[in-house]
Amino acid sequence: MLWGLAAAPAAARSGPTGPEAAALVEQLRDDDVRWNAMEASESLRRLGWRAVPALESALASEDWQQRQMAADVLRSVAGYKPSPAMLRVEVEGLRHDELPRQRRGRRAYTFVFNAKRGAEHLLRHVREAEPLLTAALVSEDQQQRFLCAYILGCAGRDEHAAAVAGVLLPHLRDNDVRNDAIMAAAALYRLGPKVRPYVVAARPSADRQARQLIDLILINLDEGPPQTWEELDARKRMHRVTRLRHDPVAQHDPGFDPMPFFPPPR
């Protein structure tokens, strides 16, 4: 039995599946036909549970785009429980790749934001994906390292505090990666008291932005999140990192705040 399929209602499992879904899944491959993969993915979404067996099979494809687009459709199936193969593909998709836009002379677009959607989905399945996430903390891909550390931090997996802090603390500094500092600070704070020695040790060599975020992490660890307008206003005066949040450390929302934009690997 395919993973996750047992949870589907009997009515959802009935109806045409095999040839129709398998043919659509083949169209998810990276080829030179414009928009066929997007059109196929929308048709697969409409099939819902009936497409799960074919989509699960595609997770083992040698084609990167097919794997990632199959995972993206599976995330949309209500009640779907991710299989080990699905979790592997999602962690793989945290790497810096060409989705949604293929830049290498092809100018193709897919609307599949696999890193963002994968990170949000993995945040709901951290325990199942934990071995994969921790292994990728030493990935050669900077974006994958960062997002794995961010997920583990946001989930409060404090047994990995040292490794997570080692990845995230450098991202508190002012750099050329958009949105990474706030995400890193919020994830470090959610590790709880075990992260304190690492952020305290990092403060003396921190730049202005990193010091502001470290101070916000520490005050939230000591006093808790702001509870009044006065406290919110006081936190706002502690930093100049963003105008979206009074306290970007305590008020960070993974589903709302923007994800980082990493420059292409050199």
Q: In the predicted model, is pLDDT for residue 266 greater than 90?
A: no
Q: What is the mean pLDDT of the chain?
A: 87
CB-CB contact of 227 with 250 (8 Å): no
Annotate the chain with DSSP letters as a single string.
--TTGGGS-HHHH-S--HHHHHHHHHTTS--SSTTHHHHHHHHHHHHGGGGHHHHHHHTT-S-HHHHHHHHHHHHTSTTPPPPHHHHHHHHHTTS--S-SEETTTT-EE----HHHHHHHHHTTSHHHHHHHHHHGGG-S-HHHHHHHHHHHHHTT-GGGHHHHHHHHGGGGS--SSBTHHHHHHHHHHTTGGGGHHHHHHHGGG--HHHHHHHHHHHHHHHH-S--SHHHHHHHHTT--S-SS-SSTTTS--TTTSPPPBPPPP-
CB-CB contact of 153 with 116 (8 Å): no
CA distances from 194 to 14, 87, 198, 200, 243 (A): 50, 27, 8, 11, 29
Tens digits of residue pLDDT in 150-207: 999 999 999 999 999 999 999 999 998 888 999 999 999 999 999 999 999 999 999 9
CB-CB contact of 238 with 209 (8 Å): no
Taking residues 70-81, what's their average pLDDT?
95
Cα separation, 264 vs 205, in Å, equals: 28
Cα separation, 132 vs 134, in Å, equals: 6
The least confident of 86-100, 124-138, 235-249 is 86-100
15 or 160: which leads in pLDDT = 160
Cα separation, 254 vs 107, in Å, equals: 29
Q: In the predicted model, is pLDDT for residue 210 greater than 80?
A: yes
Which tokens is 38 given? 């997007």
- Predicted structure pTM score: 0.87
